[in-house]
Structure 1
């Protein structure tokens, strides 16, 4: 990136988001990754309204 900034550019320098870079790396190294990942389902997410907050002291 520093090489692009040093010279004059005719177009704008495009940034990339962390998510896009992570997806590119995931696709490039998918066969090398040994950790299996499973997407979260609705049963994995805890409902915060069901927590008992009666014992909390502030």
Structure 2
């Protein structure tokens, strides 16, 4: 019986560990539109971004 519990505990730890690994790999860094001043972006690039609707 003790061996069964140890195995179940090991499996649970493995699942938790794998879950954390998946969560870490799926993290996405936030994007802030105001990171760069709009006046620092060349006009041509700004127009391209606007046409792709990436900026307002």
TM-score (norm 2): 0.26
- The structure that has the greater radius of gyration is 2
Higher relative contact order (CA 8 A, sep 6+): 2
Name the structure where helix makes up a greater proportion of residues: 2
TM-score (norm 1): 0.25
